[in-house]
A and B are shown apart, each in its own frame.
Chain A
Amino acid sequence: MLVLLIGDFNMPHRSANISPKFRKLLVPNKMQHVLCTGNLCSRETFDYLRTLSSDVHVVKGEFDDETLKYPDTKVVTVGQFRIGVCHGHQIIPWGDSRMLELLARQLDVDILVTGNSYECNAVEKSGRFFVDPGSATGSFSVNKTGPVTPSFALLDVQADNVVTYLYRLIDDAVKVDRIIYKKSKST
């Protein structure tokens, strides 16, 4: 089961386009679920996600239109895993790892997907797995020093483990990293 994690597009506010290299990779009907960390900023981006999969979940980014009523958090169950999604600007201080853990406990999820850091990373902590797919467009953020690398993540959910692929666009070439997370017995 493939789950696409993607977000912080900020189109049109901060970027013109998703890189053609990424668009070539993201083909319809390959991924069963799309979990979006928010900041789509236009209906067009949402429509684009809908072309990729019929099951699209979106949470609210701080620059998403309020009238769209995206929720702040969302929990989706895929196979044996509970996956929580939240944009992350609601977590104060931004990016605080203990607050993130608290949210994961509150949502009672195995995997917590957040955005807002504009950096693609995945890390396991106290038996839970934390992923930030970064910004799909590599859109600029005042919160981040240095340039933002366009990125997204893909979860391959299997029986008792999840293989995470981190896609980064570096010097106009796609680099992929692979991380495995195994569900611990206790959670």
Chain B
Amino acid sequence: MYDNPGNATDQEKFLDQSIRVVKAESFEMKRCLDKGKTMDALKHALQMLNEMRTSELSPKFYYRLYMDTMHELQCLEVNLIQEFSQEPSKLSNLYECVQYASAIIPRLYLLVTIGGVFIKCGLGSRKEILKDLVEMCRGVQHPLRGLFLRNYLMQCTRSVLPDFPETEEMLLSHNSTLPKGTPQLKPRDGTVEDTIDFVLINFGEMNKLWVRMQHQGPSKEKEKREKDRLELRILVGTNLVRLAQLEALTEEMYVRDVLPSILEQIVSCRDTISQEYLMECVIQVFADDFHLATLNEFLNACGQLQQEVNIKILLIALVDRLALYTNSSIEGQPAPTKMQLFEIFSEQATNLIKNRPDMPMDDIVALHVSLVSLAVKCYPDRLDYANMTFLGLRQVIEEKGITDIEAFGKVGRELTKLLNIPIDEYKNVLRLSELPEYIKVMNYFDYRGQCNIAAYMVQNMLEQETILRHQEDVDAAFSLISALLKDQEKQPESSHETEEFADEQNLVARLLHLIRADDVDSQFLLLNSARKVLGEGGRHRLRYTLPPIIFELYRLVLQFADMKDEDEKWDAKIRKMFVCAMGTIGALVSTAELAELPMKLYLNGAITADRVPFEDNHTVVYEFVSKALSILEDDVVDSRDRVRCLQLTVGTLLKTTHLPEENWQPLANQAVLAAAKMFKKPDQVRSLVTVASLYWHGETLETNGEKMRNGKKVVDILRKSAKIARECLEPLVQQQLFIQLLSAYIYYYEDKCTEINVDHIEELISRTQDNAVQLDVSAEADNLEKQLGEAIHRLQLAKIDVAASQVASPRTEPDLPQPPSENEGL
């Protein structure tokens, strides 16, 4: 198409040469203009324009030459206008003269320039001149040169095309704002219709030139030509922009003349690049209401485009644009306008897909993304529209026999986008259950894809606090996220070991707290039914999904605790809730094969039951604690875990106040036993110190709200503990244990435990001091030293305090029930 494609350096060289000529000739041209020698100036201008005939330059470089030349031509134009606006009659001569220039390119450039000057000076018929110019340009059929020439034509005439209905008034106001010296506009002929004709002709011709580029030159350079063409597309598009800018262009004109003519040109050129670009141009440049008025025509044309045209991009661009527009402005308009929009799109999209059997699946889904987006955003009340779209897509998928769409594949990504739209827009996942086709489309995903969507739904519910108030709500939510609740056929073997699995189950667990019925009875039913569904989730899910149910049951029990007078069956109902909680924890033990988690949940149950004054609540407390203890006995193996679990048991027992002595004792005994049975000696010491507190702080039914204060038992246990500590052989560990024991002794002594023998403490202190000397130097040893000093200090303070209180009031402690058998098992 251009003779010397060459490399960039060659191109630079050619460009340089041409520009040098342009500079030289324009210099001469301006000199002549200054001297008033217009004819000579034109000769130089012709010389300058000769350079535009070059065949050496690629589009990019030709464009640079064009820009430089344009600049010079503008100087010429301004000069001519100044000179001839006073005596326009002399212009005719110039026009005639230029006609005789031999080469067509320079001649036409000059004719266009002078034509522009004619119009600006108010000479001749504007309508005729424009028509003349646009016809004359047909003389250049070389694509590159023709395109630029016609672009020049558009530029030159930009400000003089007839547009708004030019009344005298408008003309006056226009002229009054002009700077001094600029020629004033005179009333002229021509209407906006003439402009439309003018631009449409130019557009048609330019497009033909542009398309022709594709078919010139050897076929092996096809790609390069396409690239060249893309660089030039804006020249063609400018015509459409110009049309869209016309202020006097009415919707009626657009519907009747403009769009049909444009579409005819686009469709008939049968060129993929041109069609794709120009259709998008039309969408982008013209006003929204023009599009709304011509939807059918436009979409029809889409159907007639080349098979290779990426129709998806066009439709999506149009739908998205109109969705935005419709949503923001159509509120007040009558419904039919809105309704039609969706129906037209939907129908046309379906036809397009039918007529293009080769359309890739991801494009088809992407199209539906736009449709659903339109349906959901612009017609929030028309769930049938959204459903219809999902139905349409499902049918296509079905026909193509596609299954198990990969979550992160091309199609999967579009499908994710599609399914997320109603979630994001409705802000209420429960509404999805009113789109029966939604789930069906979702089911075409593979396991991961289904889980991703379900997790996205749960996240949305958590974010929006979508309360599940009724059984239908729970059912709806559960059926939407069923991929997360139960093992799926397509589920890979090891999926439960992944991080995603854990994250998703955690989401489900959080969701369960959104189950909130209006009253206690219904809430219990909801929790119970949820538990049944979750119970089928298999052992890997239960550990996540059951604890929330149990905690919700405890919460419900405590909420119900104060309502004894309002419900005849209060007692039975409370008991039923506990039975349900206990059974649920049981599933964690038997099915999920867990130990610690259910144990902690049992302990929480014990405290809950202790706080609710239903009949024989102590039996339930006992049951919970004993179940926890038997897990500790049988199923907690690791010694550190055993220490911690025992600690929790003691903490829990100290929270209970309603166990009768006869029930409390076996539990406390069992705890002491477990402490003494710890595998490692230091653990025995620490655990014994912990369980000793049971006999000091513990409360039973019989202690009547007072602490147990069984000093004898406390001292027994501490003594036992101290004995074991002495058997520890590691000096540093032993020192830690000694100091812990000292702290415990002093704690009870401060608390006025009379059974504590000060001599005994002091003996322990001296033993600890001896030990300290033998310790290697370390930060921990320093710290222990500091703690020892602190302990001694506190003991002295306590001694003074105890002595003072003994003087003040001789002790009158009530006799406490003695534990049945001392030192049992120690």
User: Chain A residues in contact with chain B, CB under 8 A?
Assistant: 11-17, 42-44, 62-63, 66, 89-90, 92-94, 96, 98-99, 102, 105-106, 108, 140, 142-143, 145
Contacts and interface: CB of A to CB of B under 8 A. Distances in A.
B513 A102 contact: no
A99 B747 contact: yes
Given A14-B548, A145-B611, 6 more contacts: A12-B509, A16-B462, A43-B502, A66-B596, A92-B654, A108-B786
Contact of A142 (B499, B544, B611): B611
Contacts of B697: 93, 96
13 contacts: A13-B547, A16-B510, A16-B511, A43-B506, A62-B644, A62-B648, A92-B647, A93-B651, A93-B693, A98-B750, A105-B787, A140-B555, A145-B611
A181 B374 CA distance: 59
Contacts of B548: 12-14
A120 B607 CA distance: 22
Given A44-B506, A94-B651, A102-B747, A12 B544 contact: yes
Given A92-B651, A102-B747, A142-B608, A11 B554 contact: no
Contacts of B641: 66
Contacts of B507: 12
A177 B506 CA distance: 33
A63 B600 contact: yes
Nearest to B698: A93
Given A66-B641, A108-B786, A142-B604, A16 B503 contact: no
Contacts of A102: 743, 747
Q: Tell which of A16, A63, A90 has the most Cβ of chain B within 10 Å.
A: A16
Nearest to B694: A92
Contacts of A108: 783, 786
B651 A89 contact: yes
Contacts of B469: none
Nearest to B597: A63
Contact of A92 (B499, B596, B650): B650
A108 B644 CA distance: 23
Given A12-B509, A13-B548, A98-B747, A142 B693 contact: no
A150 to B, nearest CB: 13
B462 A62 contact: no
Contacts of A99: 747
Interface string B645-666: 0011011001100000000000
B255 interface: no
Q: Name A's interface SS.
A: loop
Contact of A106 (B513, B751, B787): B787
Q: Tell which of B507, B510, B648 has the most Cβ of chain A within 10 Å.
A: B510
A12 B551 CA distance: 10
B661 to A, nearest CB: 19
A140 B654 contact: no
B514 interface: yes
Given A12-B506, A16-B514, A142 B558 contact: yes
A14 B551 contact: yes
B693 A92 contact: yes
Contact of B510 (A12, A94, A140, A143): A12
Nearest to B544: A12
A44 B607 contact: no
Contacts of B195: none
A142 to B, nearest CB: 4
A154 to B, nearest CB: 25
B540 to A, nearest CB: 15
Interface residues on B, range: 35 or more
Given A63-B600, A92-B650, A143-B607, A13 B743 contact: no
A15 B513 contact: yes
Contact of A16 (B513, B555, B750): B513
A142 B509 contact: no
Nearest to B505: A12
Interface of B: 462-463, 465, 499, 502-503, 506-514, 544, 547-548, 551, 554-555, 558, 596, 600, 604, 607-608, 611, 641, 644, 647-648, 650-651, 654-655, 690, 693, 697, 743, 747, 750-751, 783, 786-787, 790
A94 B656 CA distance: 12
B462 A142 contact: no
Given A66-B641, A99-B747, A13 B651 contact: no
A173 B555 CA distance: 23
B235 to A, nearest CB: 49
A143 B512 CA distance: 22
A42 B554 contact: no
Contacts of A42: 502, 506
Contact of A89 (B499, B511, B647): B647
Contacts of A89: 647-648, 651
A140 B554 contact: yes
Given A140-B555, A142-B558, A93 B787 contact: no
Given A12-B506, A15-B513, A142-B554, A94 B647 contact: no
Q: Tell which of A13, A17, A43, A96 has the most Cβ of chain B within 10 Å.
A: A13
A13 B509 contact: yes
Q: Which 8 A-B pairs have the closest CB atoms?
A: A12-B509, A16-B513, A12-B510, A142-B607, A16-B510, A42-B506, A93-B654, A14-B551
Contacts of A17: 462-463, 465, 510
Contacts of A12: 506-510, 512-513, 544, 547-548
Contacts of A92: 647, 650-651, 654, 690, 693
A171 B783 CA distance: 46
B515 to A, nearest CB: 10
Contacts of B547: 12-13
Contacts of B787: 105-106
Nearest to A16: B513
B462 to A, nearest CB: 5
B665 to A, nearest CB: 19
Contacts of A62: 600, 644, 648
B747 A13 contact: no
Contacts of B463: 17
A15 B600 contact: no
Given A11-B510, A17-B510, A102-B747, A90 B654 contact: no
Nearest to A139: B551
A43 B655 CA distance: 30
Nearest to A146: B558
A90 B647 CA distance: 7
A82 to B, nearest CB: 12
Contacts of B607: 142-143
Contacts of A43: 499, 502-503, 506
Nearest to B550: A13
A13 B509 CA distance: 7
A115 to B, nearest CB: 14
A106 B786 CA distance: 9
Contacts of B510: 11-12, 15-17
A66 B786 CA distance: 32
A94 B783 contact: no
B650 to A, nearest CB: 6
A60 to B, nearest CB: 9
A98 B507 CA distance: 40
B690 A13 contact: no
B427 to A, nearest CB: 14
